[in-house]
Chains A and B, each alone.
Chain A
Amino acid sequence: MIKVEHLTKRYAGHTAIKDLNFEVGRGEIMGFLGPNGAGKTTTMRILASFLPPTSGRASIAGFDIFEQSLQARAHLGYMPENVPLYNDMRVTEYLDYRAALKGVPHRRVDERVGDVKELCGLRDVEKKMIGTLSKGYRQRVGLADALLHEPDLLILDEPTIGLDPNQIRQVRELIKNLGKQHTILLSTHILPEVEMTCSRVIIIHNGRIEACDTPDNLLGQIRQAGGVVVEAKTGNDNGAEELKKISGVREVMTNAEGDWKIFSLRVESGVDVRPEVFQLAATRRWTLRELSQRRATLEDVFVELTHPDEI
């Protein structure tokens, strides 16, 4: 559905994305993950034909975004970051306008506008001025707009930013449902969202793809490099010093909770240090309350890939 080859975008002074290559297949929900300024929005804007790439090619539904831009755009529902809308129009009026602009046949406009209002929960505000809507509703108007012409592909730039937890849950459900019929590329920096909704994840950092895999596989890679949590009463021992001597332990962070000390151990990948920690506790006569391997989350993958120095 999306094919990106050697895509590079240079602005005056810096390179926003460098030599990106990826493909998104039909029916996939692809999560686009990266810290602020990583190049997510730039990539999406290029795919939506808003910005031209400096070099490289990309195509949407088989149409080159540069040479067949109009066809590519017709197959694409794009929701820009922060959802710019005309504040002086009413919701239904705006959606009617957008439907005509996107070439929805005249006799189907009412039906489509009705459908997307239903789908995005806009019935309550359909007669309101867009300028008076809350952030959550504006977001939904943007999403409704992207869905109007039943595009094969949806590109959503930060669809849940600025929403409250309930709204985030609703939008997430909506995206999951949409994923049954549409191909979706969505960017976010909210990690649980990606874990829950996406079938594949691209992690982008400083304009480069650092990883591209299913969330499970990414977690599998990082799990070995995960951490161990130890809660113990160490008596007169410092605790951290002794733990650090165990081979495979890279770093120990200590938190205190009353008499108890909570140690978070960062461990080299592929090493299970728990037996050694137990042995140590037994020989030093520590009272052990917890000894567990911490389940790695996508957050760890993200941190590991985007801030390798700080681990």
Chain B
Amino acid sequence: MRKFWTLLVREVKSYFYSPIAYIVLVFFLLVSGVDFYFQVSFMNQRPVQYTIQEAFFNSVFFWFAFVLIFPLITMRLFAEEFKLGTIEPLTTAPVRDWQVVLAKFFGAFAFYIVLWLPTLLYFAIFLKITHQPAATSPGAYFGSYLMVLLLGMFYLSVGCLASVLTKNQIIAAVISFCAITIFFFLGLLQFVLLDVSGATRDFLGYFSALEHMGTYSRGIIDTRPVVLYLSATILVLALTHQAFQSRKWRL
């Protein structure tokens, strides 16, 4: 456990050693801040059926930033170690491969959580200034952030897998970006394929991140997406572990 902890601490620290972390942080703050601003000013112009919190978590801005950050967070995880050769001292130390994989995943996850923390402030400021809550219930906050974490876990694990496959960070970023985009748009297919049956449409709907976020941000905690994203994350991490071990046979 101590070794895992040591690895994890280094992973988290290493984010803040590199300029990429700060670029991602600034980029994300900017986009989410602009998103929040536009939603508020839009609401000032006409009455709407949804709350500011719902609007924030379901806007185009949000999804645009959301899909883009994962490749940036995960591309260096393994690729950089392969490139620098530091994988050699790392894996010849008495640590297990799964410890390395999990430390990298949870390191990325920790950074991802840090990324989201400032958005809590938006709602606090909104409440302070307008004296109105930004959401209908605490459950809506909880649901939105739970979905942010669930989706984040899954997309980060996809990024881990992409990074373990190559020693080129750019290639890792492109692979994970493509994969994440495909997963994301899988849920949108139901709006495009008009001539498919209702059952197929429902089936595709199960994978729709948009729909999941829509439900959760209203405070409805459906267990199906929890099962989907947790099991998908575990599956992809298991694949990452396999791919990480396979380096021994590829080198």
Contacts and interface: CB of A to CB of B under 8 A. Distances in A.
B93 interface: yes
A123 to B, nearest CB: 22
B145 to A, nearest CB: 31
A88 B13 CA distance: 10
A103 B18 CA distance: 27
Interface of B: 2-3, 6-7, 10, 14, 17-18, 84-89, 91-96, 248-249, 251
Nearest to B88: A80
B194 to A, nearest CB: 49
Given A51-B251, A52-B248, A84-B84, A102 B94 contact: yes
B85 A86 contact: no
A4 to B, nearest CB: 17
Interface string A21-46: 00000000000000000000000010
A104 B5 CA distance: 14
B17 A88 contact: yes
The 10 closest A-B pairs by CB, nearest first: A84-B85, A88-B17, A100-B6, A73-B94, A74-B94, A48-B92, A80-B88, A84-B86, A101-B93, A78-B92
Contact of A101 (B7, B17, B86, B248): B7
A50 B3 contact: no
Contact of A103 (B17, B84, B94, B96): B94
B247 to A, nearest CB: 9
A97 interface: yes
Given A49-B91, A84-B87, 6 more contacts: A51-B248, A85-B86, A87-B84, A88-B18, A89-B17, A100-B2
A82 interface: yes
Contacts of B18: 88
State the main secondary structure of chain B at its contact with A: helix
A80 B94 contact: no
Contact of B86 (A70, A71, A78, A86): A86
Nearest to A97: B10
Nearest to A96: B6
Interface string A94-113: 00011011110010000000
Interface of A: 45, 48-52, 70-71, 73-74, 76, 78, 80, 82, 84-89, 97-98, 100-103, 106, 142, 145
A78 B94 CA distance: 11
A42 to B, nearest CB: 10
12 contacts: A48-B92, A50-B92, A73-B93, A74-B94, A78-B92, A80-B88, A84-B84, A88-B17, A97-B6, A100-B3, A103-B2, A106-B2
A76 B86 CA distance: 17
> Which residue among B85, B87, B89, B91 has the maximum number of chain A CB atoms within 10 Å of its CB?
B89
A51 B88 CA distance: 10
Contacts of B251: 51
Contact of B85 (A51, A71, A82): A82
Contacts of A74: 94
Contact of A86 (B6, B14, B88, B91): B14
A282 to B, nearest CB: 63
Contacts of B7: 101
A49, A50, A52, A98 pick with most chain B CB within 10 angstroms: A50
A98 B10 CA distance: 10
B6 A50 contact: no
B97 to A, nearest CB: 10
Nearest to A49: B92
Given A97-B6, A97-B10, A145 B94 contact: no
B6 A73 contact: no
Contact of B94 (A52, A70, A85, A88): A70
A145 B3 contact: no
A74 B92 CA distance: 9
B5 to A, nearest CB: 8
Nearest to A75: B94
Contacts of A78: 89, 92
A43 to B, nearest CB: 14
A84 B86 CA distance: 5
B14 A73 contact: no
Contacts of B3: 100-101, 103
A60 B92 CA distance: 13
